[in-house]
Amino acid sequence: MTDSRQAIGTRAVHAGEAIDDQSALTQARALEPPLVLSSAYNLGTAEQAAAAFRGENELYIYGRWRNPSVEALERKLADLESAEAAVATASGMAAVTGALLSSLRAGDHVVAPWSCYGETSRLLREHLPKFGIETTFVDGSQVEAYAAALQANTRLLYAETPSNPVLKICDLEGLAVLAHRQGAQLVCDNTFATPIHQRPIELGADIVLHSMTKALGGHGDAIGGVICGTRSRVHEASELVVKGFGGVLAPFNAFLIARGVRTLSLRQRAASASALELAHWLGRHPAVSHVHYPGLESHPGHPVAARQMEGFGALLSFELRSGLEAGKRVLESVELIEHAVSLGDVRSLITHPASTTASTMPADTRRRADISDGLLRLSVGIEAIEDLRQDLAQALSSCER
C-alpha cells in the first residue's frame, strides 16, 4: 500500500503492485497462463507463514521450492507421460542426476547402456563412484545383457531409447519386468522419442526423464529438464535436486518450454516423417556406408521400436565411407542445416559426436558405444524435406574431393 505522503522513490517500488491489486492476474481468465517471476510470496499472517513451513497450507513461499508457472508445465508433462506427477529441473543433466541420486545410496549398483548421452555416461563412470555408486555398462539393446550384469545390490536399471547418438533401442517392457523382479527401478531417458512417440511409464518404467532443452522446448531458446513418476518418487527427486541441490527451472524457461510443448505433436510428426525419408535416401547414397534409424527395417532394434514406439523420431545418424576428414568437410559444407550441438530444434542440426558431445568418453568407451570417427548425427527439423535433401546432397558431394 502506498500513500501520496510517501517519497517518490518508495512509491516507485510499491505503487500499483499491492498484493490485493494483483487480483486481475488471477481473475482475468487469461487464455495464456500468466508468467509468475516472483522469487518470494507474501506469507500473510505470522501463523499462516509458520503453518506454510510446517506444510499445513498451500501457500507459495519461495521460488526455489514452488512456482505457479513451473507447476503448470509440470502438470502438462505428467499428463503427456501418463505419470502421477513431474518436477521440472534446471537442465536435462539435473534431471538425470536427480533421478539417479534420489533413487540410490552408497553401496548401490546400476546397470546402464554403453550407448547413452556422453555426460550421462560420464556421471555414471566418473562422478557417482565417488559417492559409492558403481555402474556396470552393457549392450542396452539386450535384456539378457542387463540380466547377466545384475548383482544383489542392483537398485536401478537405466535405459536411454533411442540412444544418443546411434539410436540403439532398449526393450522397455523386458527391462521393467527384469527390474521389478530384482526389486530395482527402471529409469528411462525419453529425450529422443518424446511422449509423442513413446511413453515409457505405460510400458512399465518407474521414472521417465527428459532434457526439455530439446524437442519439448523445440525452439533452441531454453535449457530445462523434467523427471516424471509417482507422486512420492517425484517428491523425493524434487526435495533433492530442486530444493537441496538448487537445480530449479527458471519460470521464464518454463513459459518458453510450455509454449513449445503445445506444438510438439505437429513438429515431431513432421520431423519424424522427414527423418524416415532422409534415412532411406542416405542409405542409398554412395558416400554413406551405414544409417542408424530405428524406422529402417534393417535396424536391429526395429521390431522392438515398432512395438513400443508410435513413429520413430527426428534423430538419425550415419557413417561416411571415408571417415573423419570427410565428416569435417560435410559439417563445413552444409548451408541450410546448422552445424551445432543440441537436437530436437525446429532447425535441422548436424554434429560430429566423436569430437564434440561424446569427446569426454575414453576411446574404448566410445568404441563400445558404437561412436565411430566417421559418424555424423542429424537432428531433423521442420524445414521442407526437398530443401534438406538438397543441402545434404551438396554437402555430401564434398566427400568426393
Please state, in angstroms and rounded to a whole number, the distance separating the CA atoms of residues 325 and 358. Answer: 18
| Binding site residues, ligand PLP, CB under 6 A | 91-93, 96, 117, 160, 164, 189, 191-192, 211, 213, 223, 225
Q: Which residue, 52 or 167, is less far from ligand PLP as judged by CB?
A: 167
Please state, in angstroms and rounded to a whole number, the distance separating the CA atoms of residues 3 and 25. Answer: 23
Q: At its nearest, how many Å lie between ligand PLP and the CB of residue 53?
A: 31
Q: Which residue of this chain has its Cβ atom nearest to ligand PLP in the complex?
A: 92
Out of 66, 108, 117, 199, the active site residue is: 117
- The b-or-e profile of 149-188 (16+ CB within 10 A means b, else e) is bbeeebbbbbbbbbbbbbbbbbbbbbbbebbeebebbbbb
Q: At its nearest, how many Å lie between ligand PLP and the CB of residue 305?
A: 16
Q: Which residue, 71 or 160, is less far from ligand PLP as judged by CB?
A: 160
Within 340-401, strands assigned E span 349-351, 375-379
Please state, in angstroms and rounded to a whole number, the distance separating the CA atoms of residues 152 and 72. Answer: 40
Here the cell at position 96 is 538425470
Task: Compute, in degrees rounded to 10, the torsion defined by CA atoms 145, 147, 152, 158.
Answer: 70
**What is the torsional sign of CA 199, 291, 283, 374?**
positive
Out of 155, 168, 199, 214, the active site residue is: 214
Q: Which residue, 227 or 396, is less far from ligand PLP as judged by CB?
A: 227
Active-site annotation holds for 387: no
Please state, in angstroms and rounded to a whole number, the distance separating the CA atoms of residues 1 and 38. Answer: 18
Q: Which residue, 191 or 194, is less far from ligand PLP as judged by CB?
A: 191
Q: At its nearest, how many Å lie between ligand PLP and the CB of residue 211?
A: 3
Q: At its nearest, how many Å lie between ligand PLP and the CB of residue 223?
A: 5
Amino acid at position 115, single letter: S
Q: Which residue, 185 or 253, is less far from ligand PLP as judged by CB?
A: 253
Q: Which residue, 299 or 329, is less far from ligand PLP as judged by CB?
A: 299
Out of 21, 64, 79, 367, the active site residue is: 64
Here the cell at position 313 is 523420431
Q: Which of 107, 124, 126 is nearest to 115 (CA)?
A: 124
Question: Which bin fits 240, alpha (ψ -120 to 50), beta or left (φ > 0)?
Answer: alpha
Active-site annotation holds for 64: yes
Helices vs. strands in the chain: H and E counts, helices first:
16, 12
Angle, alpha carbons 228-234-239 (nearest 5°): 135
Please state, in angstroms and rounded to a whole number, the distance separating the CA atoms of residues 252 and 222. Answer: 9
Q: Return the bridge partners of 226, or none.
A: 88, 210
Out of 41, 66, 146, 189, the active site residue is: 189
Terminal-to-terminal C-alpha distance of the chain = 73
Q: Which residue, 121 or 185, is less far from ligand PLP as judged by CB?
A: 121
Active site residues: 64, 117, 189, 214
